[in-house]
Structure 1
Amino acid sequence: MSRTIIDINILQTVPPSNLNRDDTGSPKTAVYGGTLRARVSSQAWKRATRLGFGDVLDQSDLGLRTKRLVETLADRIADRGELAEEEAGRIAAAVLQAAGVKLKAPRAKKDQAVGPAESEFLYFLSNSQLDRLTSLALEALGSEDEAAAIKAGAPKKVLAEESSIDIALFGRMVADHTDLNVDAAAQVAHAISVHEVQNDFDYFTAVDDAKDRNAGDDAGAAMIGTVEFNSSTLYRYATVDVDRLRDNLGDDAVTRRAVEAFIRAFTTSMPSGKQNTFANRTLPDAVVVTVRDTQSVNLVGAFETPVAGPNRIAASAERLAEHAEAIDSAFGTTPQRGWVVRVGAGTEPLDVLGETVSFAELVSGVGETVAERLAE
């Protein structure tokens, strides 16, 4: 079977916004090509993508990343076994500790009782794994030797099997149990603006509605402040190693479903930073998806020299098309297939990179190609 790599390239214009903040509340930036660019971290867009899976996949295909494993597992045990909260929490902790999960008391908030124990690290578990641990716990409760029954159920083995689609795509790292690690099949680049950017400040005021100016109340604002923002045309890139994804999931049909879900969720998702303030939800101006059998190719080099002037989308589309053809010609990385979804006449130069289709046709076309190549 030949190698199958899916590359996703997106041009997307975002109005005034603060999608992804740094520790001071400012929009994240990066210097690229010697100029300051707007930046949205890969972590921010991966989380947005993972949350977007809820709209395109069943929960049985997904997982949960949390430290509150005892509480999560105890809730499932209590629901299925009709147990008291305390008993469910006790057996949940016993099963997790037998699986090698280190537990500790959670940080107590002022004037609040300490809750259930938490795992020392974030764990990413599939819903299937949580269901199997729930069954194991309930079976152990009915045995004469509870500890032996838990051990016989091999809870650590449960954590190593039946990865969910999101775990298979984004991977899992368990610092103290490397045998539970899952190598990610998808990589997501930091999105950067194709042009130089300068952050601006929005000075805002909030008025107290209960003030009565006619009665002589102070007419000034009840609160003032500033919000930092920028606007940009972003180049976004992600890649999926279909063969690694197939190894992680162990099933061709599920692998196809995972690829289709990733393309849908990554393309249409948006990090949620300051969305209520800026209503910055946009969809891409152009999406180019290619299937390669060589290696992943990030085409950000098209924008090493920043795009200047108006009509940035048209200039960016032309740059992207020219750079893609030049790279593939020089290195022999010409894709096996390509699809282009675009909006407006300015993105027409991208037509040389693939078949121009609707987004639904792109997703189904990639899915069919993945299925064909997996069957070879």
Structure 2
Amino acid sequence: MAFLDIHAIQAVPPANMNRDESGSPKTAVYGGTRRLRVSSQAWKRAARKALEADSASIAPSERTKRLPEQIAASLADRAPDLADKASEVAQAAVSDVFKVKTKSKKEKESGKERLTTEYLLFLGHDQRNRLIDALVKNEASLAEAVNSPKDSAKKLAAALKELRLRDTVATAHPPAVALFGRMVATDPTLNVDAATQVAHALSTHRVDSEFDYYTAVDDVDNEADETGAGMIGTVEFNAATMYRYATVDLRSLVENLGGDIDTAADVAVAFVRAFLLSMPTGKRNTFANNTRPDFSLVALREDQPVSLAAAFERPVSSDDGYLGKSVKRLVTHQREQDTCYGTEPLLNRAVYPAWVAETVEEGEGLELPSSTPLDTVLTETRKKVRAVIGGDDA
């Protein structure tokens, strides 16, 4: 077993980056106290988009209902014999692979046909392209089936079945699918168990929501008719110092990537960077809450993944900032946990600016891990991860 744990303490100014159904910032009660919460789904999407945007070596993926529409567009462009029946072939192909229902609907204004599936499908661009290539390669046989004057639907289904299109999406998963997994409700055999677990981010202290009462002024001079604001409204927000945590099951990652150890090591460290530096985009234009973690800790473990959230089960209290006290709690909790259970990370590296250390009230026996630049931490982590999952000298 091998697990890569990622911990972060991050101060976030006024923000509403993850809203509930009423538009309020999400919260949770932990340790009997109301905390700010950012859901794992919100941060996973932010990390996934950052992962694929920031690394040229990370193959892209897509979660969409519009796979049939994408396939139909490619067939219309690349397979002349299927152009008139591209929508029909595309829908049948997606149904053949995923056992999912598809539907066709024309937009009233543009008249454009929209082809969608009943739920979102998650696959890599390469997987989608291999599926399309297989259809184009067999253009003649598919055209004969779909244009048959009798039982064309049955003949098309039979022709598609012979192509074994399912194999194009059942293997060679992109990094995002390998990390975050995939669920196909209509065909569980296409499911991919996620190699990564991401916790809901929680504030280390109690939070109270506030409201921003705003007005908008009409720029057109119309004082005779409008003596006040052109619009008024409120936006709910809060601010907090948060604990964030994620872990990567490295053995599962290797398995999901077809046994490619080097790629798994690359993907693991790329995810560390993406997770630490990403931010959900809710109300970003309103609050510009673009912070980075103030303290990051990367730990490679062979025993089990270990969240340090319990360090904050008793909420941090302070009248001069939460950051230093939160960092102190985190470091102390990790060391006491490992002492108690007789464990020790194979690698334990921290990233933080010097001023953070100055905010930590160092008590008896407390010494912060030395700070190392993120790029250096990632290089060291990649080397150690490769050694451990490769069975080398760890």
TM-score w.r.t. length of structure 2: 0.88
- Contact 1:52-1:269 within 8 A present in 2 as well: yes
Q: Distance in 1 between matches of 2:369 and 2:135?
A: 52
Aligned to 1:368: 383
CA contact (8 A) 1:295 1:333 kept: no
Contact 2:8/2:293 (<8 A) preserved: yes
CA distance 1:87–1:300, shift in 2 (3 Å): same
- Count of matched residue pairs: 372
| Alpha-carbon distance in structure 2 between the residues aligned to 1:202 and 1:286 | 29
Q: Secondary structure at the match of 1:196?
A: coil
1:201 to 186, 208, 211: 211
Letter in 1 for 2:245: Y
Structure 2 residue matching 1:172: 3-state secondary structure: coil
Give me the identity figure in percent: 41
Q: Separation in 2 of the partners of 1:102 and 1:375?
A: 38
Q: Counterpart amino acid of 2:380? A: G
Residues 339, 111 of structure 1: CA spacing in aligned structure 2 closer, same or farther, 3 A cutoff? Answer: same
- Aligned to 2:266, which of 257, 263, 270? 257
- Superposed CA offset, 1:114-173 (max 9, x none): 733321221111112111111111022123755455323201222211111000000001
The residue aligned with 1:323 is 333
Q: Deviations over 1:89-109 (max 9, x none)?
A: 332223222224323325776
User: Residue 313 of structure 2 corresponds to which residue in structure 1?
Assistant: 304
Pair 1:83–1:196, CA change in 2 (3 A) = farther
Quick one: distance in 2 between partners of 1:280 and 1:156?
A: 43
Of residues 270, 279, 302, the one that matches 1:270 is: 279
Which segment is superposed worse, 125-134 or 289-298? 125-134
Superposed CA deviations along residues 304-347 of structure 1, whole A, max 9, x for unmatched, are 11111123111111111111111111112311111100123333
Instruction: Answer yes or no: is 1:347 the counterpart of 2:357.
Output: yes
Contact 2:107–2:114, Cα closer than 8 Å, also in 1:
no
The answer for the alignment partner of 1:222 in structure 2 is: 230
Q: Tell me, yes or no, if structure 1 residue 291 matches structure 2 residue 304.
A: no
Letter in 1 for 2:138: A
CA distance in 1, matches of 2:185, 2:274: 28
Contact 1:16 / 1:229 at 8 angstroms: preserved in 2?
A: yes
Where structure 1 has 5 or more consecutive residues not aligned to the other structure, the ranges are none
Runs (5+) with no aligned partner, structure 2: 146-155
- Supply the distance in 1 between the matched residues of 2:267 and 2:344 (Cα, whole angstroms): 24
3-state SS in 2 of match to 1:8: strand
Name the amino acid aligned to 1:262: F
**Letter matched to residue 337 of structure 1:** L
Secondary structure of the corresponding residue to residue 114 of structure 2: coil
CA contact (8 A) 2:91 2:102 kept: no
Query: Residue 372 of structure 1: CA displacement?
Result: 1.3
Partners of 1:337 and 1:354 within 8 A in 2? no
> CA–CA distance in 1 between the matches of 2:302 and 2:369?
16
In structure 2, relative to structure 1, the CA distance for the partners of 1:352 and 1:62 (3 Å cut) is: farther
Cα distance in 1 for residues equivalent to 2:331 and 2:116: 50
Q: Read off the aligned partner of 2:126 and give its amino acid letter.
A: S
Q: Say if 1:363 and 1:172 are closer, same or farther in 2 by CA, change over 3 A.
A: same
Please say if residues 133 and 155 of structure 1, whose CA atoms lie closer than 8 Å, have aligned partners that are also in contact.
yes
The two structures have a TM-score, normalised by structure 1, of: 0.92
Task: Measure the CA separation in 2 of the matches of 1:354 and 1:210.
Answer: 58
Q: Which string of whole-angstrom CA distances, capped at 9 and with x for unpartnered residues, describes residues 259-307 of structure 1?
A: 1221111110000000000011101101000000000000011111111
The aligned counterpart of 1:338 is 348
Q: Is the 8 A contact 1:63 1:127 kept in 2?
A: yes
Cα distance between partner residues in 1 of 2:267 and 2:13: 31
| Preserved contact between residue 290 and residue 337 of structure 1 (Cα < 8 Å) | yes
1:204-258 superposed Cα distances (whole Å, 9 cap, x missing partner)? 0011000243xx3422111100000000000000000000000000211211121
Task: Decide whether the 8 Å contact of 2:58 with 2:267 is kept in 1.
Answer: no
Q: How far apart in 2 are the matches of 1:170 and 1:79?
A: 33
Cα shift readout 1:10-42 (whole Å, capped 9, x = no counterpart): 000000000100000000001111111000000
Q: Which residue of 2 aligns with 1:77?
A: 75
Kept after mapping to 1: 8 A contact 2:81/2:140:
no
SS across alignment from 1:334: coil
* CA spacing shift, 1:79–1:360, aligned 2, 3 Å: farther
Query: What amino acid is aligned across from residue 288 of structure 2 in structure 1?
Result: A
Taking a change above 3 Å as real, the CA distance of residues 91 and 8 of structure 1, as seen in their structure-2 partners, is: same
Checking the alignment, whether the CA contact within 8 Å between 1:103 and 1:117 is kept in structure 2 is no
Note the 1:99-248 alignment, pairs <5 A.
99-105=97-103, 113=111, 115-143=113-141, 146=145, 147=156, 149-213=159-223, 216-248=224-256
- Larger deviation, residues 71-80 vs 48-57: 71-80
Q: Whole-Å Cα distance in 1 between the matches of residues 291 and 7 of structure 2?
A: 16
| Aligned match for 1:18, one of 16, 19, 28 | 16
Of stretches 265-274 and 102-111 in structure 1, the one that deviates more from structure 2 is 102-111
CA distance in 1, matches of 2:74, 2:57: 15
1:56 equivalent to 2:54? Answer: yes
SS at match of 1:219: coil
Shift of 1:80: 4.1
The change in CA–CA distance for 1:275 and 1:84 in structure 2 (over 3 A counts) is farther
Partner of 1:280: 289
Q: C-alpha distance in 1, partners of 2:66/2:368?
A: 46
Question: Are 1:60 and 1:127, in contact at CA under 8 Å, matched by a contact in 2?
Answer: no
2:45 pairs, out of 17, 42, 47, with: 47
